[in-house]
Structure 1
Amino acid sequence: MSETLYTPLPDRAVIRVSGPDRVDFLQGLVSNNVEKISPEQSGYGALLTPQGKFLYDFFMYYQDEDSLLIECEGGERAESLFKKLRMYKLRAKVELTDVSNDYDVFAVFGDNAASALSLPEQAGSTARLADGIKAVDPRLTAMGCRVLLPKGEEGTLAGTGSVKSTIEAYHEQRVRLGLPNGSEELEVDKAILLENGFEELGGVDFKKGCYMGQELTARTKYRGLVRKRLLPIEIDGPTPEVGSQIMNDDREAGIIKSIHGNSGLAMIRLERVDKEATLNAGDARITVHIPDWVQLPARD
């Protein structure tokens, strides 16, 4: 890309978590270290089942000295997350508020996104933008930045020199980099964080102590149980359907999880893919790409 682009993300929601117990409350639930969220640092994490399977992923921002903001999938997914958090609230001194109607969420991506927003190119680096928040994507600096602005303040982004683009252009960039988009690619109640890049993408802290689902996540890491990975694919030929099998000769090598343009993300069986593999999904040729940030287990 030769310019900095931005697009609204209307499929996102924002939940405010406020009160004196807000950090401790989230710390016992979320896969990442909530204590590190500050005015200068945002984070990415997930809420899991007690068995360690994916339920929700989200970004976490410091709003003020009494409140954190969670940016998550919108619609029914946001409603479900809100109810789940409220269920775990118990006697914690925490107030949960859906503030989605107060904010618009934007992605800023392409060349020099961090510079356009006057942010250091460091994952999670955060500052105020007018009456909102701007942050380098906590997962990967190459994905650009995320911005939360009060409703009706989109002009603030135009003032940075960024050019308005489309949400599809954002998703094409996202899948080429190998970044999941919540339940679009991660199967709820089944997906395992480390198969979907959460360790390398800064979504798991193995030193923070206990959180819900921590045992399976730690066991997956320390026993070397990762045998599949969510990886970018390039499609050459008739576009297959999401959910199609990727075949290596007569053996299943993976499942397509999403498609945007000629690219997508697929859950790939690592033992059935190498640099010489010829893969296909129906009549389409499939090429698997391994991004620089992905750390694959050593092969025997």
Structure 2
Amino acid sequence: MPQAYLADRGVVKVAGDDARHFLHNLVTSDVETLTPGEARWFGLLTPQGKILFDGLAIAVPDTHGGGYLLDVAHDQAEALTKRLGFYKLRAKVIVENLSDAMGVGVVWGGDSAPSDLGITYIDPRLAELGTRIISERDRLATLGDNPDAWHKHRIHLGVPEGGKDFAWSDAFPHEVLMDQLQGVAFDKGCYVGQEVVSRMHHRATARTRIVPVTFTATAPASGTEVVAGGKTLGTIGSVGEGRALATLRLDRVSDALTAGLPITADDIPLQLEKPAFIRFAFPGEPTL
């Protein structure tokens, strides 16, 4: 049973009478309709539409106190707590960083997570990512210190992660595939940065995307430029076995493919590979 304790993840609690409306009105996804034990990928944006924080919001069953737990990067948890507190004003909401005591684990490969270990929830981005667990850190340590295996699995599926594939405050939700992986609700009311995200969606102006690339040679290092014909197409992010995630200008990739130019990173030939969940036009696909 592949499993891992993700020590670099933290937990932020949002609870209180107004928690549901408070969180729903701030983030990109629809957390208002979540049922207990269900999760959704969310982003908290700048007014200019860039991602300040991202994570998974879990609706907590009443047996565990209700409200929400936010599965986020550990090094972002305190800043997120302060940011949510900034928006709280007079809302009846408690926001608390639990990351010193609470953490996140994951079980994947079709196996069920032990329900007695903590709060479990299916990863809302892709079911193939497995079941995540929030519990006390010392209990999660029994899952084993094997985050590299988890990230290889994530990279294989083509799912980006903040801090590894994109920098916070530097990327739009469309660029990191939030629109493809249920991280943005386009039928909900206003939230911070909503106007920019909506405009990008309806005008189809997202030229930069994070997509999987494959290679057969030695792996290019994270941060390596992807080039073709002397032009920069983007950069390499997370790297796994024979595969990486790369932030690329897809229009430039299409031009390179049309011209028959090799796409490389540090002289290593790359091939783009389209995950099944991607719905936008992919470079190299025949046009109708």
Instruction: Provide TM-score, normalisation by structure 2.
Output: 0.88
Q: Is the 8 A contact 1:132 1:147 kept in 2?
A: yes
Give 1:43 deviation, angstroms. 1.3
Cα–Cα, structure 1 residues 47 and 229, in superposed 2: closer, same or farther, change >3 Å?
A: same
Q: List runs of 5+ in structure 2 lacking aligned partners.
A: none
| Distance in 1 separating the partners of 2:137 and 2:46 | 33
Distance in 2 of aligned mates of 1:286 and 1:103: 40
Equivalent positions of 1:122-137 (< 5 A) are 129-130=115-116, 132-137=118-123
Q: 1:23 to 1:271 in 2, by over 3 A?
A: same
- Cα 1:237/1:16, change in 2 over 3 Å: same
Q: How far apart, CA to CA, are the structure 2 residues paired with 1:29 and 1:256?
A: 31
After superposition, what is the alpha-carbon deviation per residue over 1:37-75, rounded to whole angstroms, capped at 9, x for unaligned? 221421111100011011111111122444211110002
- TM-superposed deviation, 1:78: 1.3
1:45 equivalent in structure 2 = 42
Aligned to 2:197: 217
Q: 1:215 to 1:155 in 2, by over 3 A?
A: closer
String of CA shifts for 1:220-254, please: whole Å, max 9, x gaps: 01001011210012233343332221112222222
Residue 180 (structure 2) aligned to one of 175, 189, 200: 200
Whichever residue aligns with residue 74 of structure 1, its letter is H
Hey, what's the Cα distance between the residues in 2 that align with 1:207 and 1:224? 17
Q: 2 CA distance for matches of 1:165 and 1:71?
A: 18
Q: Larger strand proportion, structure 1 or 2? A: 1
Give the 3-state SS of the residue equivalent to 1:79 in structure 2. helix
Kept after mapping to 1: 8 A contact 2:37/2:60:
no
For 1:290, the equivalent position in structure 2 comes to 274
Whether contact under 8 Å (2:152, 2:241) holds in the other structure is yes
The percentage of counterpart residues that share the same residue type is 32
Please tell me whether residue 82 in structure 1 is matched to residue 81 in structure 2: yes
Q: What number of residue pairs does the alignment pair up?
A: 277
Q: For residues 223 and 168 of structure 1, do their structure 2 counterparts lie closer, same or farther at Cα, with a shift above 3 Å needed? A: same
Structure 1 residue 260: Cα displacement: 3.0
Query: CA shift at 1:98, angstroms?
Result: 1.5
Amino acid at match of 2:51: F
5 Å-filtered alignment, 1:147-158, equals 147-154=133-140
Query: In the alignment, which residue of structure 2 is the partner of 1:32?
Result: 29
Could you tell me which amino acid in structure 1 is paired with residue 136 of structure 2? P
**Under a length normalisation based on structure 1, what TM-score does the superposition of the two structures give?**
0.85
Question: 1:89-128 maps to which residues of 2 (within 5 A)?
Answer: 89-110=88-109, 112-113=110-111, 116-117=112-113
Consecutive unaligned residues in structure 1, runs of 5 or more: 119-128, 158-163
Shift in Å, 1:283: 2.3
Name the amino acid aligned to 2:274: I
Q: Equivalent residue of 1:229, what SS?
A: strand
Question: 1:82 deviation in Å?
Answer: 1.2
CA contact (8 A) 2:233 2:249 kept: yes
Per-residue Cα deviation, 1:240-284 (whole angstroms, up to 9, x for no partner): 332221112222222112223432211122123357662111221
Q: After TM superposition, give the deviation of residue 165 of structure 1 in Å.
A: 6.9
